Amino acid sequence: MTTSARWRTAASEVLRAGAGFALADVDPDSTPGYTGRKRDGVDDLAEGATRLGELQERLFAQSVAGTAEGSVLLLLQAMDTAGKGGVVRHVVGAVDPQGVELAAFKKPTEEELAHDFLWRVERRLPEPGRIGVFDRSHYEDVLIGRVRALAPPEEIQRRYGAIEEFEADAAARGIRWVKVMLHLSREEQRKRLADRLDRPDKQWKYNPGDVDEQERWDDYMAAYQVAIERTSSEAAPWHVVPADRKWYARLAVQELLAEALAGLNPTWPAPDYDVEREKARLAAT
Amino acid sequence: MTTSARWRTAASEVLRAGAGFALADVDPDSTPGYTGRKRDGVDDLAEGATRLGELQERLFAQSVAGTAEGSVLLLLQAMDTAGKGGVVRHVVGAVDPQGVELAAFKKPTEEELAHDFLWRVERRLPEPGRIGVFDRSHYEDVLIGRVRALAPPEEIQRRYGAIEEFEADAAARGIRWVKVMLHLSREEQRKRLADRLDRPDKQWKYNPGDVDEQERWDDYMAAYQVAIERTSSEAAPWHVVPADRKWYARLAVQELLAEALAGLNPTWPAPDYDVEREKARLAAT
């Protein structure tokens, strides 16, 4: 149940966006905190899945027993092709689906647009004892929202503060935030998009709008920089995970998730019935 | 992408509850249609997961492209400890969680009780292109509902017809039902309950009501017999899966699910954009 020794520094520490954070200084091809190479990373991911599964089962047991106090919420933001889907599949997909609440936020519907931007996310916050996953989130409203000017500048400005408050409230109610930006390089995105166009089993993942967004790469990076600066708080810190190497990105997110779960210190709930008496009753059937 | 040669007869055929079905004739310790032993079953489950994952990815791709016409809905009913959780974890858990909609139906809430018994299940029917999973279902209302007389006899009688109609309507709208009863022996249940009482990491799964239900075993089997007889239709057939051997039950459900997915014959959606033009645009960024 321990972290691989190949983590030289805890992932939550080395990847955290703290004071003075500059996205431009993060190399998307790097592997911060981890001393292993790809082969080690693949091994550690498999071992980590067992550890994550055990922690999650304990947390789930608490939720069934009604004693769970907290939940973990993995929030994933990234440029297209950065590997959100792979993280969901290979990291989250390794634990019992019964304990996971996955919410994918797409382009808002008319109903969603009629409410404040936090409305649709608030109702998807995980129950105690669960792992929640936000595949995109309220950050879209200050990322594409800012780049594409989908709202007036003063509304965008208002949102940073609203997000910080919302996340702090949720944290106070027991939600442990794991906010992750998967950080890809523009060059790697171009390669991955080209790969999608080449493969009949990947063409469905491509849409022409992806190139338009590629052209606004620098605007997006600026929007991420501001969002991270303004909303990386004690209650809900951001972690920026280099994502040009898929194996590292998955391993790092798994590690962040495991650290958060371990932080809740879930233990098997004590039975609320008399075990010996039940054994006798069962034997008598 | 083919079924293991160790299936002598298609699972959907050999396990199907057809005319003249008698639950009492099904041996919970048997392995119908499958010629392999446990070790083979474990190997086939791992290989089958790859096949299931591929089928599901194609279906999911269609849902993203908006061309999916159908969905598959796995409905699981069983006595306690029969292994529903293991099926969710090891069969369903092997495919991409993004394409799965899991609904666990517990004791109805007040709001649910204020509606017709089908209300809460209808709203959880899967979207086109998804795999839905019902962990328990509307059948509780003719199983525990009947055994515990939670509704008047004439209401229970009405429900069989209402279920048949509801399921036929859903099938007409593209839902492919995979209704599964995991069939455990009373003796094996007693062993599994005793095991739960013995293990601190399993005690949370036990509750004293389980013994009360054990004592009504025969009533439950009679209720299952009637439910299966009355609702195993062309549109939504029942499959009874012997469950004393966990490896067989998981393998059989995986096979039923794969057959249903293969029946939808999902193909990669054709791009709705000009691939060559997009390659040129991308190269120009």
Find the chain B residues whose C-beta atoms sit closer than 8 A to any C-beta of A. 61-62, 64-65, 85, 88-89, 92-93, 96-98, 100, 102, 104, 135, 190, 193-194, 197, 200-201, 203-208, 211, 214-215, 268-271, 273, 275, 278-279, 281-283, 285
pLDDT tens profile B40-75: 999 999 999 999 999 999 999 999 999 998 999 999
Structure tokens at B51: 């096949």
Mutate to test the interface with B, among A58, A187, A268, A282 (most CBs of B within 10 A): A282
Res B126 pLDDT > 60: yes
Of A59, A138, A67, nearest to A101 (Cα)?
A59
Give chain B's radius of gyration (CA, Å): 20
Nearest CB partner across the interface for B215, out of A98, A207, A285: A285
d(CA B148, CA B140): 11
**pLDDT per residue as tens, chain A (285 positions):** 578 889 999 999 999 999 999 999 999 999 999 999 999 999 999 999 999 999 999 999 999 999 998 999 999 999 999 999 999 999 999 999 999 999 999 999 999 999 999 999 999 999 999 999 999 999 999 999 999 999 999 999 999 999 999 999 999 999 999 999 999 999 999 999 999 999 999 999 999 999 999 999 999 999 999 999 999 999 999 999 999 999 999 999 999 999 999 999 999 999 999 999 999 999 998
d(CA A256, CA A176): 11
ipTM higher than the 0.95 cut: no
- Is A72 part of any domain? yes
- Is A255 part of any domain? yes
- Is A194 part of any domain? yes
Task: Dump the DSSP string for B124-191.
Answer: TPPPTT-EEEEES-GGGGGTHHHHTT-S-HHHHHHHHHHHHHHHHHHHHTTEEEEEEEEE--HHHHHH
- Is A37 part of any domain? yes
> What's A53's domain CATH number?
3.40.50.300
Nearest CB partner across the interface for B194, out of A62, A270, A282: A282
**pLDDT the model gives residue A3:** 84
Q: CB of A75 within 8 A of CB of A179?
A: yes
Q: What is the DSSP letter of B234?
A: S
Which residues, at least 6 apart from B96, have a Cβ–Cβ distance to it below 8 Å?
A85, A88, A89, A93, B53, B56, B57, B60
Q: CB of A132 within 8 A of CB of A72?
A: yes
Cβ separation of A275 and B215 shorter than 8 Å?
no
**pLDDT the model gives residue B47:** 95
Minimum Cα–Cα distance from B197: chain A residue: A275
- Is A2 part of any domain? no
**Chain center to CA of A94:** 15
Nearest CB partner across the interface for A88, out of B98, B207, B269: B98
Split at pLDDT 50, 70, 90, the class of B1 is low
What residue numbers bound the domain in which A196 lies? 11-283
- Is B6 part of any domain? no
Could you give the maximum distance between any two Cα atoms of chain B, in Å? 73
Cβ separation of A97 and B88 shorter than 8 Å?
yes
- Please return the burial class of B78, using the count of CB atoms within 10 Å of its CB with bins 0-12, 13-18 and 19+: buried
Structure tokens at B135: 């962990």
Q: At what angle do helices B186-198 and A275-283 cross, to 10 degrees?
A: 160
Nearest CB partner across the interface for A282, out of B102, B193, B285: B193
Domain count, chain A: 1
Cβ separation of B193 and A85 shorter than 8 Å?
no
Cβ separation of A97 and B102 shorter than 8 Å?
yes
Structure tokens at A137: 């989130």
Tell me the torsion sign for CA atoms A116, A120, A123, A127. negative
**pLDDT the model gives residue B4:** 86
pLDDT tens profile A260-283: 999 999 999 999 999 999 999 999
- Please return the burial class of A28, using the count of CB atoms within 10 Å of its CB with bins 0-12, 13-18 and 19+: buried
**Chain center to CA of A261:** 13
d(CA B90, CA B94): 6
Cβ separation of A200 and B65 shorter than 8 Å?
no
**A64 neighbourhood in chain B, CB within 8 Å:** 204-205
Strand B100-104 relative to strand B131-135: parallel, antiparallel, unpaired? parallel
> What number of helices (H) and strands (E) belong to chain A?
12, 5
d(CA A56, CA A61): 8
Measured CA distances, A208 to A213, B9, B125 (Å): 9, 46, 32
Q: CB of A252 within 8 A of CB of A241?
A: yes
Mutate to test the interface with A, among B88, B203, B212 (most CBs of A within 10 A): B203
- Is B198 part of any domain? yes
Minimum Cα–Cα distance from B106: chain A residue: A64
Minimum Cα–Cα distance from B96: chain A residue: A89
d(CA B121, CA B141): 11
Structure tokens at A43: 């091994």
d(CA A161, CA A73): 20
Res B3 pLDDT > 90: no
**Chain center to CA of A177:** 8
| Sheet containing A238-242: order of strands | A100-104, A131-135, A71-78, A175-183, A238-242
Distance from CA of A257 to the nearest CA of B (A): 17
- Is B19 part of any domain? yes
Find the chain A residues whose C-beta atoms sit closer than 8 A to any C-beta of B. 61-62, 64-65, 85, 88-89, 92-93, 96-98, 100, 102, 104, 135, 190, 193-194, 197, 200-201, 203-208, 211, 214-215, 268-271, 273, 275, 278-279, 281-283, 285
